[in-house]
Chain A
Amino acid sequence: MYKIIIKLFILSIFIIFNLNIANAQSVVTDEMLLSAQEDPNNWLMAPGNYTGNRFSKLGQINTANVSGLVPKWIFSLGTLDAQNTTPVIHNGVMYVTASHGRTYALNAANGQEIWRYFHQLPEGVAGKMCCDIGNRGVALYGDKVYVATPDSHVVALNKSDGSVAWDVTIANWEDAITMTVAPLVVKGKVIVGMSGAEYPTRLWIDALDSETGEQVWRRYTIPGPGEPGHETWGSARAAMYGGSSAWITGSYDPELDILYWGVGNPNPDWDGTVRPGDNLYSNSTLALDPDTGAIKFYFQYTPADVWDYDGNNEPILVDYGDEKVWLHGDRNGYLYKIDRTNGAFKYGKEISKVNWNTGFTYDGRPIWNMDKVPTYDYEAKDICPASEGGKWWNPMTVNPETGWVFVPSREICVDIKSAPLGEGLNPDEITVGKPYWGIGTIGWNTGYGQLVAFDGRTGEKMWVVKDRSPFTSGLLSTRGGLLFAGTPEGEFRAYHQETGEELWSFQTGSGIFGSPSTYTIDGEQFVAVPSGFGGWTGWAIFGEGGAPWLKDSRKGGIIIGFGLP
């Protein structure tokens, strides 16, 4: 009898082990990525699906029962610092990154580790990153997992065991060109964008062959000499050091066959004097040919930026009847609706208080309020919003079934005076690999956080929920009528989409700066969220401090899987 029990035990261990392996080995196809929205049991890419809407059709956890939500498992990521990831799930296996570019495969039912990949970093790389050493997640395709690392490698891992299939270097991190982006796979190409616009750099978006890592195309986000738009920088020197990063994952419309990808702030961040002009394509969304990287059209949110309104936030693709648009919450304080067939401006609506401009021209160009333009001789006071928005980088969500958009936001303003080289915080000369912000003085004024719901069709504000601290997580909306959001104080909450009523909350122990996702295992719905304070948080304490109570906040590094009892 004992022998039979032992044999059965060994057999069951063998089966469980091989189930894990089998799950980890299964492949992700183009068809699966194209129909990811229709497959709520998985979460196949960081933004959820190609529209980037971070909406799930799961409704098992809903407004009626969410109050009973409990943690089912907790996994330690093994690192502190900014945990910016979105957990990605396929066939019961969760693929998740930690800060420092580490990658794990977990059993998504119980958080048990299946494999890990620790990318060995060169000493000093953290000193070349403006805003912490976070990572925003992986991409899945075929039998591989793709991750971008802080030292500007893109690594393909075998899904089954985490072994390295290929590892390519696409920039020299010592030049302060680094990576935090979650890759996106489109038509067999791994699309990534670079970080580093707080340094004198010229950045880009790359497409790599998913099988080999070989570069298929590179799209510089600043036109080179002779290319249209190069003249918008005033000089070749300004253009070649003009930053314009691309570290937020884009979206893809298979019908139009267009890849939409955001571009961030020009360098130096707060001094426009040295780069007179619109500084294309900084603070824009580019509409790209995914096969060649050619620019089909673009929309620029903040030309000639002097406020660091780093406009590379996500474009979310939405259809309102026959109207095909992208919605974009910008750090400049506006929610934009843009025609995604041609880049035409539809509206710009205030997410938070905005006073740096007085309105728009017919084509969406902002009209500056000169009282809020900092110069070498003039400290502009109480500029709203501050550099983080409006809406910071943390992704918003759109429920395509109601058309509503939910935006993580803040009401914080800032005082700024710019300065030339050798003054203020600036070095005496431009040095590759050294930060250059163009700043004289800067101080954030104390404010508060808010969640804002809009009807995306019209831009009408439907409700606002205020909180002491800014909402620093990405958002998740579900068919269960729920909106999930996190705070830098560690609260993970569920709100009623229709009213903004708070229905549930859980203290995760550290600030939430990543994004939740949801999936099922054997018919049971889970919601997973990373917790771990970090990233650029100068806004909390510089000057009066936007949220001075966040000073010396507790760091952390966990993923929690929630479910119903």
Chain B
Amino acid sequence: MKMILNNLKIFYLFIIIFLFYSLAQAGIEDKDTISIKTIENPLELDEETIKAGKKLWRKTGCYSCHGGNAEGGVGPNLQDDIWVYKPSDAMLFKTIAKGRKGTNMVGWEKELNSDEIWKIIIFIRSLYTGDKSKIIW
């Protein structure tokens, strides 16, 4: 009986370790998935959000490099469909939050929270003048 209990303890211990390991793996996977692959803008492209995004565009000084309406300047044009990387929500979010290595684009995550970054992305989306068939958001 004692031996069975001991075996059960080992079994439960194994199960617990397995569960923790699985959860940890899931967490890592979720984190990677959220930050790099499948993250999507939770906000809608509506007038109120566009207005809020434009306000943040001004406050943060995005216009200093990209222009008042993202037509480009020191930084690239964000209205058109000419992008170095596929302009997914995830890519835009990461670029605004973390910056883009090798360019003048610095990360703004110390000044902008996630909600604010999404609002700026909505503002950028609202300015799109490129080929409609290339819209991926």
Contact = CB atoms under 8 A, between A and B. Distances in A.
Given A535-B74, A542-B73, A126 B104 contact: yes
Given A534-B74, A536-B74, A552-B76, A198 B64 contact: yes
B84 to A, nearest CB: 10
A133 B74 CA distance: 10
A133 B103 CA distance: 10
A293 B63 CA distance: 36
Contact of B64 (A125, A428, A435): A435
Contact of B59 (A133, A424, A428, A439): A428
A123 interface: yes
B31 interface: no
B63 to A, nearest CB: 5
Interface size class of B (residues with CB under 8 A): 20 to 34
Interface string B43-78: 000000000000100111101100110011110110
Interface residues of A, number: 33
Given A426-B58, A542-B67, A123 B106 contact: yes
Contact of B106 (A124, A434, A536): A124
Interface string B101-122: 0111111100000000000000
A123 B98 CA distance: 10
A541 interface: yes
Contacts of B67: 538, 541-542
Contacts of B107: 123-124
B59 A81 contact: no
Contacts of A123: 99, 106-107
A537 B67 CA distance: 10
- Interface residue SS majority, chain B: loop
B74 A551 contact: no
Given A124-B107, A435-B61, A552-B82, A425 B73 contact: no
- Interface residue SS majority, chain A: loop
A240 interface: no
Interface in A439-481: 439, 441-442
B59 A541 contact: no
Given A126-B104, A127-B106, A198-B64, A427 B58 contact: yes
A427 B71 contact: no
Given A123-B106, A124-B106, A427-B58, A537 B74 contact: yes
Given A126-B104, A127-B106, A551 B64 contact: no
Contacts of B61: 127, 427, 434-435
Contacts of B72: 538, 541, 551-552
A427 B99 CA distance: 22
B89 to A, nearest CB: 22
A132 interface: yes
B58 A536 contact: no
B76 A126 contact: no
B124 to A, nearest CB: 15
Given A126-B104, A132-B104, A198-B64, A434 B59 contact: yes
Contacts of B102: 80
16 contacts: A80-B102, A123-B106, A124-B107, A130-B64, A131-B74, A133-B104, A425-B68, A435-B61, A442-B68, A534-B74, A536-B73, A538-B72, A541-B77, A542-B67, A551-B77, A552-B82
Identify the 4 closest CB pairs spanning chains A and B, nearest first.
A538-B73, A127-B106, A126-B104, A435-B61
Given A434-B61, A538-B72, A541-B71, 9 more contacts: A80-B103, A129-B104, A133-B104, A427-B58, A428-B58, A435-B61, A537-B74, A538-B74, A542-B67
Interface of B: 55, 58-61, 63-64, 67-68, 71-74, 76-77, 82, 99, 102-108
